[in-house]
Amino acid sequence: MIDCHNHVGVELLTYLRGEFPYCQHLETLVHEGRLLGIDQWVVFPMVSYLALDLGALRKGEIRYGSELEKVPYAFENRRHLHEIYRLFPKEAESVIPFVMIDPNREVPGQVSALRELRGQYPFAGLKLQATIIQSNVKGLFSEGKAFLELAEEWNLPVLIHSSVLKTDIWSQSSDILDLAEANPGLRFCLAHSCRFDREYLDRLAQLPNAWFDCSAHRIHCDLAVQDNPIVAPVMRRFESDYSRPEKVLLDLAEAHPQKLLWGSDSPYYSYVADFEGKPLSLRSSYREEVDCLMALPVDLRRQVAEENTRRFLGNPQ
């Protein structure tokens, strides 16, 4: 069984801001996951990068430009693949590495860094989390198109963080669906079940080259119970009993058996912070995420944690 969504390394933003979680070791993820019955992990570096101004980051502001690095993710992607292939070759056999992209900043530099890296290490996909770095996903329609050309050249899938919150202008699910529609030859996955937005899930279901993952499933169910605007409002929300995350996953898998990919979002299945002066406490664990998967009937489990995932990855066997 494959977990299609895991972050490895250090998240500078949450570390500098005193929020949790802020890191994950590759080795810890593989060790813990194996004990729970997971066999493979799609892994990518954390989201903020050393080419952002760390002083601004510490104040919670995103400003591009740093003395440490010039090219987004050049250091992070290289470090990620080095950790996997050089430091942990045994664990490397169980992981499927993706590299991070920023669709709008220093694109030519990123492309040449990726080309150079490709000569040294294999990697299996591209990952974009546009919200934290405040870099609009729509950039993939303009200058960032260069990344889609790489994806086509190397036959790589693209996994993208998705949002429905109006103030999150960077990762709107509708923009990502437009992208998938405009690029039928490429494979896309929208993270976080499109925040349970029924209309977007139905639209996605019509696209042969699009999937969604259920990453951070349990805390999203908690947010739905609280009617938090991070998830779709009731009128647009996929119908289920959000007080029972296992039932929600079953309903999603039954409604979209070809489209759902199981992913934990480790270590972001939890999020604990002071938010606008109040404590924000969204807590789950790797075990609880796996429990939701294991509660599915065996054929659906195989579909969402293996068959669909392999199709998205481009190796159906």
Question: What is the rounded distance in angstroms from the CA atom of residue 295 to the CA atom of residue 85?
Answer: 34
When the beta carbons of 14 and 68 are compared against Zn ion, the nearer one is 14
When the beta carbons of 11 and 265 are compared against Zn ion, the nearer one is 265
Q: Which residues are CB-neighbours of 306 under 8 A, at least 6 positions away? A: 1, 2
Question: What is the rounded distance in angstroms from the CA atom of residue 314 to the CA atom of residue 261?
Answer: 14
Minimum distance of Zn ion from residue 46's CB (angstroms): 9
Minimum distance of Zn ion from residue 42's CB (angstroms): 11
Minimum distance of Zn ion from residue 70's CB (angstroms): 26
When the beta carbons of 143 and 288 are compared against Zn ion, the nearer one is 288
Question: What is the rounded distance in angstroms from the CA atom of residue 151 to the CA atom of residue 172?
Answer: 21
Torsion of Cα atoms, 34 then 40 then 44 then 47, to 10°: -50
For 190, which DSSP code?
E
Residues 264-303 close enough to bind Zn ion by CB under 5 A: 265
Residues 103-162 close enough to bind Zn ion by CB under 5 A: none
Minimum distance of Zn ion from residue 43's CB (angstroms): 11
Q: Let me know: does 193 contact 199? Beta carbons within 8 Å.
A: no
When the beta carbons of 45 and 245 are compared against Zn ion, the nearer one is 45
Q: What is the number of the residue whose Cβ is closest to Zn ion?
A: 265
CB atoms under 10 Å from CB of 176, counted, come to 29
Position 3 contacts Zn ion (CB under 5 A): no
When the beta carbons of 101 and 109 are compared against Zn ion, the nearer one is 101
Residues 209-268 close enough to bind Zn ion by CB under 5 A: 265
Binding site for Zn ion (CB under 5 A): 265
